[in-house]
Amino acid sequence: MLSFLFILGVLTIDLNICNGEYYAITRNPNLLDRWASAEIELVSKLKISSENISSMAVVTRYIQDFDDAFQTLNDYNETAPHRESSSAVTSNPVAVYRMIRRLAYQFPDLRTQVKPLDEGLFYRLHDNVRLETKDVQDTIAGILRILHVYNFPPSSFAEGNFGGVETGTKLKGIHCYEIGREALRLEFYTLSIEWLEVALVKARNDSSIDPGLAKSLLDVAILKHDEKLDSRGYYDPYYYNQKLVPILHYPNYTATRVKQRDVLEYYYSRVNDTSTWYLNLKFTAICSRNSIQTAEEKSHLFCWYESKADLYWLIGPLKMEFLAKDPDIVQIYEIIGERQTEDLKKTVEENLRQSSVVDSSPGAAPGAQMVSNIRTSVNGWITEYSHPTLYTVSKTMEKITGLKVIGKTASDAMQVATYSFGGHYEAHLDALIVKGFGEESAGERIATFLYYLEEPQLGGQTAFTEGRKWVANKWIRYFDQFSNRRCGLQPVERYRIPANNDCIP
Ligand SMILES: *[C@@H]1O[C@H](CO)[C@@H](O)[C@H](O)[C@H]1NC(C)=O
Ligand SMILES: *[C@@H]1O[C@H](CO)[C@@H](O)[C@H](O)[C@H]1NC(C)=O
Ligand SMILES: *[C@@H]1O[C@H](CO)[C@@H](O)[C@H](O)[C@H]1NC(C)=O
Ligand SMILES: *[C@@H]1O[C@H](CO)[C@@H](O)[C@H](O)[C@H]1NC(C)=O
Ligand SMILES: *[C@@H]1O[C@H](CO)[C@@H](O)[C@H](O)[C@H]1NC(C)=O
């Protein structure tokens, strides 16, 4: 049987949020857009409202926080149309956190005290979806995920520096405190301690948080870390590699402590083990170091112009590049146009749903789906028969892979998904392994074809720090390929990408 393991997606931190049904509205990029543009409109109305309104404490407080968060935000333009400025907000994790926080904690008061400026506007911001503490927690979880996956230090992140990119938005002491407190609740000790340290430094300078409060929670976090470190039976990337209390008073405590994730990644990135625990460690290693391939492995990778996969490519060859071998991963450049990508996005945009994963819990029906914290995108499905653009796109896929893609059992419908900031999909296999999804009639998934329809400014291969990512993918099935490709002689064989068809029998 051909087998093509294609691991895509992302490691994330397992945030210990309950299993099973988990729905976070803040994951929906369309809703984020709507809130952001409605809030910008609201604030611009508040700013020009009558003296009675604009002098109310609840209003000035709201406007102050809004201006503090956005005035220096890159690409944010107060005089541009609201819809345009909103994308500056929704593509920045700190700006989103501050917006969701205002809408959850400050907006209800504003709503009660300020008599309607504009009912429709209030409705868009509040009455159809009420944001609550859990939504603020969800955006914090996104921030923690980004910091963990990319190993960014909270101290520079709080200053709006994401991995060397200045984004122009900052956090105040109170925000750092809240993030540290939430990390502590999630038992994510390394990040909790680092955030509370930043909060403490900021508290000495800004009045948003009392330094005594920050210090006492920091002490709790350090003590809990040390206490739990002992009771852990295995290495866990949310801890330091030693107790902190004994080193707290060293001349340079910060330099002395070492995160367990750094130690683990270093030792385990080369271990040949596919258990989830190792896979997750390798994913963090890939995200924070770009690659864990050895020089020997890299020496087998190359780029080429593919002209023989199909006569069609004779004049305009494909630009291809091996990213990895065994299993083969190739990147193909410039195969989908702007008109087609916009078309695919638009087709699913109105029907986006929270993505689900196969439910493999004991007792689940075959092929049953569940919403889970493993995967935070929203997605929609398109078939060749319902959509002419996809028909063309799938035809091209056939000419590239030499595999049958169009046909009821040849491949799954195209999945179009979008991830907003901090979105992720944990390390996973696309192969079904469990029965379901017509596995009996269509066969196993042997290859994944993944299109990048829109890439964020930062991140995106795996976890996403800034901006929004759109992908579309096709899973190609086994049984329909019998007429296109000869079976191998080995019972277990991988589908290999031939360079200029050299290895096609
Ligand atoms: C503004 O305040 C004045 C005096 O307190 C009051 O008469 C008036 O009705 C208020 N206007 C609004 C729009 O609330
Ligand atoms: C802000 O938007 C306005 C209106 O679209 C435009 O005229 C102006 O040049 C923009 N400013 C910047 C700094 O982009
Ligand atoms: C404290 O605030 C002052 C003035 O606002 C600023 O110049 C300084 O950089 C701040 N220090 C820290 C540690 O943030
Ligand atoms: C502590 O260590 C950090 C990181 O190595 C270094 O940047 C800093 O200067 C050190 N501070 C002192 C007081 O030695
Ligand atoms: C790693 O695993 C693969 C497949 O499971 C196996 O073929 C290979 O020999 C292993 N390599 C090492 C160094 O153990």
Domain spanning 2-14+296-501, CATH class = mainly beta
Mark residue 436 as left, alpha or beta (left: phi above 0; alpha: psi -120 to 50; beta: remaining).
left
Q: How far is the CA of 79 from the centre of ligand 2 (A)?
A: 6
**Model confidence at 306: pLDDT above 70:** yes
Taking the CA of residue 252 as reference, the ligand 4 atom at the shortest distance is 1
| 205 touches ligand 1 (CB under 6 Å) | no
Q: What is the pTM of this model?
A: 0.79
| 55 touches ligand 1 (CB under 6 Å) | no
> Which of 252, 253, 257, 259 is the pocket-test mutation for ligand 4 (most atoms within 8 Å of CB)?
252
Q: Which of 343, 340, 318 is nearest to 331 (CA)?
A: 318
Mean pLDDT of 443-455: 83
Mean pLDDT of 295-305: 91
| 206 touches ligand 3 (CB under 6 Å) | no
Pick 433 or 444 by higher pLDDT.
444
Q: Please report, rounded to a whole number, the percentage of residues in the chain having pLDDT higher than 70.
A: 79
| 360 touches ligand 3 (CB under 6 Å) | no
**Model confidence at 462: pLDDT above 60:** no
Instruction: Give domain limits for the chain.
Output: 2-14+296-501
Name the most confidently modeled range: 56-70, 331-345, 469-483.
Answer: 56-70
CA distance 344 to 230: 52
**Model confidence at 79: pLDDT above 60:** yes
Q: For 251-260, 403-412, 440-449, 460-469, which range has the lowest pLDDT when averaged over its residues?
A: 460-469
Q: For 1-10, 159-168, 395-404, 450-459, which range has the lowest pLDDT when averaged over its residues?
A: 1-10
Name the most confidently modeled range: 10-14, 203-207, 460-464.
Answer: 203-207
Q: How far is the CA of 186 from the centre of ligand 2 (A)?
A: 42
Q: Which of 280, 310, 492, 289 is nearest to 401 (CA)?
A: 310
The number of beta carbons lying within 10 Å of the beta carbon of residue 178 is 20
Which residue, by CA, sits nearest to atom 5 of ligand 1?
52
Q: How far is the CA of 77 from the centre of ligand 2 (A)?
A: 6
Contact yes or no for 331/320 (Cβ under 8 A) = yes
Q: How far is the CA of 271 from the centre of ligand 5 (A)?
A: 10
Mean pLDDT of 482-488: 75
Q: What is the mean pLDDT of the chain?
A: 80
| Omega cis (within 30) before 327 | yes
> Which of 44, 72, 77 is the pocket-test mutation for ligand 2 (most atoms within 8 Å of CB)?
77
